[in-house]
């Protein structure tokens, strides 16, 4: 009998296996040095959303971090497809990972000696903030003690597992009763949070940070949606003080699309009600995921 993959599936060494059986060796630099390039493409209603944009970013992250997993873009696309198809998951968080691996010469400290390898895994769709919390008015803490790791130390455009700064920030946020956290850079500008980019709305203009952030695919989608709504879009440094003059704040993530927030630190927006621009953009995001031009359909068995 075929194994039950509905809790999640993984693709490892050419095989699709239950996620509970997917394991990594303890000496893999993926673990010992957080040394991976990765990406996450959402699966919505039985199709990958904007799959090619995610694959492009993953290939670029691998090039930037000098990963060579010995697979082509087509091989990776097929692996993701076959894994999600086998899982039967119609709405999924689908991760692809290039891991540095273990040095092929025992004891070597030379990253060029590592055997890089690819694996993937898929689980039921994950929301960075659950829809009920979004509707009720979600809150974001601005980290006081944890700054975003500088972009010239770890390149945030190459999607990576260096989450120590976010994890410390999340402890602060949770301890203070907030949903999630946004980090500042060392110049006091807003950057991003664990799994999302941030946007501010002021009048008919939306702002999002230009540097020190992952160039989110949902960020790109939100910029396109806002332009289509007739808003001006500005991608530039966003100082913390701009939160004081903003009318609305929202987050963008493949884990939920466009996420209005009503509270950032002590600042309350829209009397605690999700803002009209963010709500309209959120609705459009969920319409776009159903548009054939953005979808790569999954051929599920049976
Ligand atoms: C650090 C960081 N910033 C931003 C994002 C949002 O990117 P995307 O919209 O491509 O999911 C993510 C997604 O996981 C992330 O990890």
120 with 11: CB under 8 angstroms? yes
**Could you tell me the distance, in angstroms and rounded to a whole number, from the CA of residue 1 to the centre of ligand 1?**
38
Among candidates 195, 159, 206, 209, which has minimal Cα distance to 53?
A: 159
**Could you tell me the distance, in angstroms and rounded to a whole number, from the CA of residue 302 to the centre of ligand 1?**
34
Can you give the pLDDT at residue 61?
Answer: 98
Q: Whose CA is nearest to atom 14 of ligand 1?
A: 195
- Give per-residue pLDDT as tens, 237-263: 999 999 999 999 999 999 999 999 999
- Give per-residue pLDDT as tens, 65-94: 999 999 999 999 999 999 999 999 999 999
Indicate the pLDDT class of residue 1, thresholds 50, 70 and 90.
low
- Give per-residue pLDDT as tens, 180-238: 999 999 999 999 999 999 999 999 999 999 999 999 999 999 999 999 999 999 999 99
pTM: 0.97
Q: Whose CA is nearest to atom 12 of ligand 1?
A: 195
The position carrying tokens 């701009």 is 242
- 180, 253, 288: residue to mutate for ligand 1 pocket, most atoms within 8 A of CB: 253
**Could you tell me the distance, in angstroms and rounded to a whole number, from the CA of residue 107 to the centre of ligand 1?**
34
Domains of the chain from N-terminus onward: 9-124 (3.30.470.10), 131-288 (3.20.10.10)
**Could you tell me the distance, in angstroms and rounded to a whole number, from the CA of residue 214 to the centre of ligand 1?**
6
Distance between CA atoms of 231 and 43, rounded to whole angstroms?
28
237 with 212: CB under 8 angstroms? no
Distance between CA atoms of 219 and 155, rounded to whole angstroms?
18
H helix or E strand, kind and range, residue 82: helix 73-87
Distance between CA atoms of 272 and 269, rounded to whole angstroms?
6
- Give per-residue pLDDT as tens, 86-117: 999 999 999 999 999 999 999 999 999 999 99
Pocket of ligand 1 (CB under 6 A): 40, 192, 195-197, 214, 216-219, 252-254
């Amino acid at each position: 009998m075929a194994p039950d993959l509905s809790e999640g599936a993984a693709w490892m060494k050419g095989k699709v296996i239950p996620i509970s059986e997917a394991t990594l060796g303890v000496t893999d630099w993926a673990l010992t040095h957080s040394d991976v390039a990765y990406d996450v493409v959402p699966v919505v209603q039985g199709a990958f959303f904007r799959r090619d944009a995610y694959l492009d970013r993953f290939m670029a992250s691998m090039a930037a971090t000098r990963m060579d997993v010995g697979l082509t873009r087509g091989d990776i696309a097929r692996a993701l497809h076959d894994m999600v198809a086998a899982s039967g998951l119609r709405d999924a968080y689908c991760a692809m990972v290039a891991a540095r691996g273990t040095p092929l010469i025992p004891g070597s400290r030379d990253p060029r000696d590592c055997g890089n390898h690819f694996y993937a895994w898929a689980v039921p769709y994950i929301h960075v903030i659950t829809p009920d919390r979004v509707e009720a008015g979600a809150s974001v803490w601005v980290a006081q003690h944890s700054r975003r790791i500088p972009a010239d130390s770890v390149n945030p455009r190459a999607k990576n597992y260096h989450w120590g700064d976010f994890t410390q920030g999340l402890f602060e946020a949770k301890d203070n009763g907030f949903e999630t956290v946004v980090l500042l850079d060392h110049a006091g500008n807003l950057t991003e949070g664990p799994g999302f980019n941030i946007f501010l709305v002021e009048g008919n203009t939306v702002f999002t940070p230009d540097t020190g952030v992952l160039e989110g695919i949902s960020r790109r989608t939100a910029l396109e949606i806002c332009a289509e709504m007739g808003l001006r879009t500005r991608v530039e440094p966003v100082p913390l003080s701009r939160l004081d003059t903003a009318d609305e704040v929202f987050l963008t993530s493949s884990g939920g699309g466009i996420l209005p927030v009503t509270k950032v630190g002590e600042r309350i927006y829209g009397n605690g009600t999700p803002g009209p621009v963010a709500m309209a953009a959120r609705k459009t995001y969920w319409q776009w995921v159903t548009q054939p031009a953005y979808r790569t359909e999954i051929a599920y068995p049976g």
